[in-house]
A and B are shown apart, each in its own frame.
Chain A
Amino acid sequence: MRVLVAIGPSGDCAWLARLASLLPAATTEVCLAHVVDLEARRDWERARQRFIGRPPLPPHRRDEVEAVERERGRAVLAAAEAALRRAGCSATTRQELLTERPERALVALATHWPAELLALRARDAPGHPPTGPGSVGHVARFVLDHAPCPVLLVRATGR
């Protein structure tokens, strides 16, 4: 079974131990996917608009920003793979570093790989209730609605 695991930007890997125990025994291949959410950068890039006549971000700064985004993404994926291994997952793993809107990129990857199961955290950001309203983030919600395969939603409570 091919399982696509979505890794959020927080770098919190504690949930992966719980995931490893929930993965079907038939899991042969795990693809860890992290998507660099460009919206966070576009937010402050849009804020430049009000400075009349301002040129775009200088090339050296843009290159640095993109390099750090990739560097961070690779670090998050490496930490996730190590956490899964520690939790006893013996399936073959691969890493996918993508950019753009996380929810769309994950659904597209699940379609084209193709994944037989898509696993993700209910919410990667802190400060939200473990269950009830607000417990499922917008990425997870979109994936639940649009994924082409079964979805395994892992809550912070471990349920």
Chain B
Amino acid sequence: MELQQVAVGVIAVATLAAVMLRPRAIPEAISALTGGALVVLVGAVPPIEAVRLLLAAWNVFAFFLGLMLIAAAADHAGVFDVLAWLAARAAGGSRRRLLLNLFVLGAGLTALLSNDATALILTPVVYTLTLRLGLPTRPYAFACTFIADTASFLLPVSNPINILVLERFPASLGDYLHHLLPAALAAIAVNVAVFLWLFRAELAGGFAPTDLPPPAVLALAPRRFRLTALGLGVLAGAYLLAAWRGWPLGLVALAGGAVLAGGAVAWGKLAARGLAGAISWGLFGFIAGFLVLVQGVENVGWSAGLGRALAALAGDAPLRSAAAAVVVSALGANLVNNVPAALLQLAAIDSLPSTPVRGLLAYGTLVGADLGPNLTTVGSLATMLWLLLLRQRGVTISSLEYFRVGLITTPGLLAAATLALWWMGR
């Protein structure tokens, strides 16, 4: 084994450990960028190749930025508040129907605006909505955070991970939908069924929908709301058109984000500083660092080893292949984070000789990376271990409830999606 190969192995493991454990609260982006810089320093990735790699990933970066701008503009225009209010009105006073409506709303928002928008923006909106209605908040808040992941492979734009996967393993919209739409619908159906059973006590009975006043935005800025909602509708059409024609989705997202957020800023209703504050700048560094690091892992041959290990696990049978890809990806997502887990697994699959199950392995990676985080919703396994440790010391951490719900729900979601993926890929 060459010295360079050993060095890259050590750098990769140390970077993943740093992301997982966050020593001295070092931001994940700094760890990833350091790992990426170190593989360049040890010569595993020539600087020009690193630059070329990052420039080639412009579609991914543009997509991330556009998505965050769109979500910030939609949030500011009150789109989430109005949609959640409509979901409550349409529930007709039934707690169960409200949960179903929120699942439908969360799936729709995730499909078009990605899982971030649902988990980060819809959840607080739904929390305040259920408080106003005097309902137990947990089932509905859980529903938002879970559906954000469960619905995140409905469309290529539903989760940024999907764009990363499709950059490496391009697929037409038809092919994508053929393989993944049934899997997503199966997972959503299982999620709804498990939640209706799990929270049956809290969901028994009704509520008075008249207790809920219309969102303030409808009275204060109805035009802004209508224009933003119209813009989102146009954007949804543009996404589908771009995905169908094979145009870069990053361009569509960035253009949509620029129009919606730029319009809100120009209108004077959204401060540019507030807009900048809504962007996860660290995510760009995180992805850039891991793109370079994974390239280093590939260049020194580690990914071929990972590929052989995955191939041994996956075998030739389609069902076994799909299950192996989904489970390994989901475990990786929980162990560290779904971005590096998916990137490493994709590199491993790419190193394999052409095989009939290659497509299934790639789609399985996407499903595992998207659904996996539902297991430990509060972050990664490291966060969960930390919470468990605190509990042993007598501190009550209710987030363990999330872990319990994740443990009950996620295996069923993974199984349903795997079976549908296999069925459609036979």
Contact = CB atoms under 8 A, between A and B. Distances in A.
A10 B134 contact: yes
B321 interface: no
Contacts of B201: 125-128
A116 interface: no
B226 interface: no
B147 interface: no
B61 to A, nearest CB: 13
B274 A72 contact: no
B134 A11 contact: yes
Interface residues of B, number: 49
Interface in B134-153: 134, 136-138, 141, 144-145
B288 to A, nearest CB: 12
Contact of A43 (B274, B337, B402): B402
Contacts of B370: none
Contact of A39 (B279, B373, B398): B398
A52 B339 contact: yes
B383 interface: yes
Contacts of B339: 52
For B27, B134, B283, B401, which residue has the most chain A Cβ atoms within 10 angstroms? B134
B399 A43 contact: yes
Interface in B261-311: 274, 277-283, 285-286
B116 A40 contact: no
Nearest to A104: B396
Interface stretch (B40-48, B85-93, B125-133): B125-133
A43 B139 CA distance: 12
B204 interface: yes
Interface in B385-405: 396, 398-399, 401-402
A113 to B, nearest CB: 24
Interface in B357-403: 373, 377-380, 383, 396, 398-399, 401-402
Contact of B137 (A40, A46, A54, A57): A40
B350 interface: no
A68 interface: yes
A44 B277 contact: no
Given A52-B29, A53-B27, A69 B398 contact: no
B141 A50 contact: no
Given A51-B116, A52-B339, A41 B127 contact: yes
Q: Which 8 A-B pairs have the closest CB atoms?
A: A127-B201, A53-B282, A53-B280, A39-B398, A68-B128, A49-B379, A50-B379, A11-B134
Interface of B: 27-29, 75, 116, 119-120, 123-125, 127-128, 131-132, 134, 136-138, 141, 144-145, 200-202, 204-205, 274, 277-283, 285-286, 337, 339, 373, 377-380, 383, 396, 398-399, 401-402
11 contacts: A44-B145, A50-B377, A50-B378, A50-B383, A51-B116, A51-B119, A51-B283, A52-B286, A52-B339, A68-B131, A72-B134
